[in-house]
Structures are given as C-alpha cells and as structure tokens.
Amino acid sequence: MYDFAIIGGGIVGLSTGMALGKRYPNARILVLEKESNWAFHQTGNNSGVIHSGIYYKPGSFKAKFCRDGCLSMVEFCQEHGIDHEVCGKVIVATDEKELPRLENLYKRGFENGIDVKRISPEEVKEIEPHVTCVGGIFVSSTGIVNYKQVCLKYAEIIKQQGGELRLNTKVEKIVTSGNHQVLETNTGTFETRFVINCAGLHSDRVAKMGKADPKAKIVPFRGEYYELTPEKRYLVKGLIYPVPNPDFPFLGVHFTRMIDSSVHAGPNAVLSLKREGYNKTDFDLRDFAEVMAFPGFWKLAAKHADEGIQEIIRSFSKAAFTKSLQKLIPEVQQEDLVPTHAGVRAQALMNDGKLVDDFLIVQGQNSVHVCNAPSPAATSSIEIGKAIVAQIPEQSHLKAVVSQI
C-alpha cells in the first residue's frame, strides 16, 4: 500500500514527487511513467526556456508560479550543478502597429513584479545586432536550461528520499476500493491511498478514469521548429521574441539559443492529429475523432480561423516560415534553416471554445488532477509541485509525520 501514487513522469509529476518526499519523509511514494524515459513528451521537447512570467494575467497561477519558479529553478540549477544561463531576452515590435501591444506587455510585466526595461531599436541592436525593429523591451530574468537534466535530478532526489520510480508502466484503469484506490497497469496493480494525476497529454482521460470531471478536454497542438545551421548561429546571441497577439494563445515564431549553443527557430502551432503526434503524418483515430466531435474545438477554430490558416501554411511551407522569421532577422534565408524536433502542447479547451488560460488543478475523491499545465509549467514546476502538495487534504495516518517536521 502506497500513501501517494503519481501518474506521469514529466517535470510536473517529478516535481510533485520531490515536494511530497520533503513534506512527508516517511510516506511511501510511487511515480509511474508509461514511457521508457522520464520527461519523454512535453518536458523533453520544449524550447528549454526559463520564463520570466511577463505574459500572464496578473494574479493568475501562471503569473505567480512562473515568476517565483524562475527564481527557484535558477536556485535549483545552481545548487545541483545543472547547466543553465540567465541570459535575458528581447521582445520586439517589428511594425508601428505593434507598439501599443508592446507597451501593454511592458505594463503587464511591471504588474507581475518582473524586471522589465523599455529599449530603443538602437539598444536592441546592442543586444541582438541582427534584429530589425521599431521598439523593444528587455526581460533580464529569462534564462535557458535543459529540462531533461532537471527531471533526472528530480528523479534522483525522489529516489534518495525513499520514493519508488517505475518506467514502462502505463495506468489503464483506476478502481476505488474503500478508502484507497487500485491502479491497474500493464505491469500489475498498485494500491494507494491518494492519486495525483500529472499525465499531461492524457490528463483529462486519467481524470475521468478516477471519476473526476475536469470540465475541459485536452486538444493537442504541434509546434514545429527549425534550427539555424552552425555557420549562421552568430545571427542570434540569446532569445528573440515578437510581440504576441493577445487574442491568439501562442507566442509566435521566435529564436531561442539553447543551452548547447544551437539556435532553434519556431514554433508554429497546428492541430496535431495524434496526442503524441510529433510528425505531420502521425494519426490516431481515437484522438482525431475526439477533437472533431468536440464542439469547443470548432468554436475555437472559427474564432481564430485566419491565424489558424497561417499556422498551417507555415507548417507546409518553409518559405512562409522563413518569411515570419525575417520579420525579426531579415538576413535569415531558407537555406540557413534545417528541420529539428517538434513538440506537442497539451492545451485544455472548454466546451464553449475558450482556452483554459491558467494552470488547472481539479480535486477528486482521494485524488488531485493537474488538467492543464502547458508552458510555463517547466519553469514553474517546483512551485506547482509545492502547490499541489498544499492542496492535498491531510492524510490521518500521516498527520504525526507532518507534526514532527
């Protein structure tokens, strides 16, 4: 009998396991992951950015957790010797029409308590010599890291705390039995007093297995990237972002220098026809049918039809993708770009077509379900883990353990 079982070995599941081990040092903690490696999906395919929290609605979980998580992630990396760099980033307006949005973003950063500075086009060029713009802001706290390395350290800490880690273990059914729950998996059954669902792309399905209703469905969006050829990496010193469209849920294509010194360009955002579909040809009938039958998707698609069409064009046209990048750095040419890995974002969508724009944590019977944790979840992971543990009702058999801490 385990005290806590976590479903999902991405960065949120592992950070939660680490936080549980700290709060309940004598508890039996189990982490289950269906893949053969930790951080296999969203965490392992993101851009590796330590976000500042500038984009998110003041007072939201995303704003608070990201701002605090930016600090705690850097501290964690420093403590454990994980390669990282706080390099800052520029967000630039490439057209006069974008300047009011840039100003609004600056004000939002200020409201969120972030160190953000207005900079002129000349000052932008001092930071990023090859960028052309009409104005910009500089966010000093943004950084870069390899989140797979972070996850491996989280897993190592869980093991040191006495937790049990199991890869290649897929939860197929959850059965409530008295005051505990039975997890039926492809490798056997596990009994636990409390379940924490951190299943990412499958979090809504796992919630329903556990008789919880997230009132939202995961709709997968694939983000495709190109990489600058090594001889053209000099074009990008750090992180270069456009001003995002506040009515569109994605940040737009941008340049990211990775911790290994490679430079990624992207992503676009297109509907994935498979929840774990990293290639254009990937298709899963169940995943596709669920999205097509979901009224919320069609309402979202109608609202953002123009932007959606442009994203699809960028997906199939390297020339169109390059043109978007040239708004930031005119020197970039098609031959400077080579395809690299894609990621799939697990975005929760409501029945009315509204995106769940904050982290969504749902309470169930002897369970907690993390049903929306896209970017900036990696940056925020330590704070999300602590928040999840704080939401868990005190287990009567563990009260004595807590009182001793």
Buried b (16+ CB within 10 A) or exposed e, 117-144: eebeeeebbebbebbbbbbbbbbebbbb
Q: For residue 58, is the peptide bond before it cis, meaning its omega torsion is within 30 degrees of 0?
A: no
**Contact yes or no for 217/348 (Cβ under 8 A):** yes
> Model confidence at 403, in pLDDT bands (50, 70, 90)?
very low
- Dig out the tokens for 350 from the structure: 């409501």
Average pLDDT over residues 25-35: 97
Average pLDDT over residues 243-255: 81
Q: pLDDT tens digits, residue range 121-171? A: 999 999 999 999 999 999 999 999 999 999 999 999 999 999 999 999 999
Q: Which amino acid is at 395?
A: Q
Asked whether the predicted pLDDT for residue 354 surpasses 50, the reply is: yes
> Model confidence at 398, in pLDDT bands (50, 70, 90)?
low
Q: How far apart are CA 359 and CA 348, in angstroms?
A: 9
Alpha helices in 195-271 (DSSP H): 203-209
Q: How far apart are CA 145 and CA 48, in angstroms?
A: 5
Percent of the chain at pLDDT > 70 equals: 97
Q: How far is CA 295 from the centre of its chain?
A: 25
Residue 249 half-sphere exposure, CB side, CA atoms within 13 Å?
26
Q: How far is CA 111 from the centre of its chain?
A: 23
Residue 372 φ/ψ, nearest 5 degrees: -155, 105
Q: pLDDT tens digits, residue range 294-325? A: 999 999 999 988 888 999 999 999 999 999 99
**Contact yes or no for 113/19 (Cβ under 8 A):** no
Q: What is the 3-state secondary structure (H, E, C) of 20-40?
A: HHHHCCCCCEEEECCCCCCCC
Q: How far apart are CA 38 and CA 183, in angstroms?
A: 20
Q: pLDDT tens digits, residue range 40-73? A: 999 999 989 999 999 999 999 999 999 999 999 9
The reported pLDDT for the residue numbered 404 is: 35
Residue 168 φ/ψ, nearest 5 degrees: 55, 30
Asked whether the predicted pLDDT for residue 402 surpasses 80, the reply is: no
313 by Cβ neighbours in 10 Å (0-12 / 13-18 / 19+) ranks as middle
Average pLDDT over residues 377-392: 95
Q: Is 268 left (phi over 0), alpha (psi -120 to 50) or beta?
A: beta
The reported pLDDT for the residue numbered 395 is: 65
Q: How far apart are CA 178 and CA 165, in angstroms?
A: 25
- Dig out the tokens for 14 from the structure: 């592992």
**Contact yes or no for 253/242 (Cβ under 8 A):** yes
Buried b (16+ CB within 10 A) or exposed e, 172-209: eebeeeeebbebebeeeebebbbbbbbbbbbbbbbbeb
Residue 278 φ/ψ, nearest 5 degrees: -90, -10
Q: How far apart are CA 230 and CA 239, in angstroms?
A: 17
